[in-house]
Amino acid sequence: MIREWNIWVVGGDQRQVCLAGLLAADGHAVHTFALERAGEILETEEEEDLAGLDLADCVVLPLPALGEDGTVNTPLSRKTLSLEAVLDRLRPGQVVCAGRVETAAREAALRRGLAIHDYFAREELAVANAVPTAWAKGHGRILRLLSELQSNRRNGGSYHSDTVGRGAA
């Protein structure tokens, strides 16, 4: 690695917990905030407040960035955190990555001179996220079918749409 980055992961669910651990394992300095219910995340620094956020090379917000109440999505925390509280701590030019960024949130970041990136807009992430989401929502039968079809194609078989209609799963 050429350079260690200072990355803050603020709020989110198990996806952000996993990301924080992976980034730390890659040698980055990772700070977490509003993830205290996740327990210890190895090689990361759990922060009590947002002091030092302005020193981050990148701030990662959750997917979705905002919860139903319009605050930062923090299901693994007792903290309620407004987007403004986060953005106001940042300096112009800092990079913010978030998922499913709403127009108002994007505009608030841009007004502050922040570089905001919606990682959920990337097709490969949206597709990869669909599998655990479908599984969690009880669509395991569909996922098993897709897995069987993929396995069949890898083993030289072909896909026939009438197989699906006959309940091949």
pTM equals: 0.76
Q: Which pLDDT tens digit goes with each residue over 50-70?
A: 999 999 999 999 999 999 999
The closest alpha carbon to 73, from 64, 87, 50, 59, belongs to 64
Domains and CATH numbers, the chain: 6-121 (3.40.50.720), 124-165 (no CATH)
Q: Which pLDDT tens digit goes with each residue over 68-118?
A: 999 999 999 999 999 999 999 999 999 999 999 999 999 999 999 999 999
- Give pLDDT, residue 169: 40
92's CB contacts (< 8 A; 6+ apart) are 112, 113, 114
The closest alpha carbon to 31, from 84, 100, 89, 88, belongs to 89
First to last CA, the chain: 44
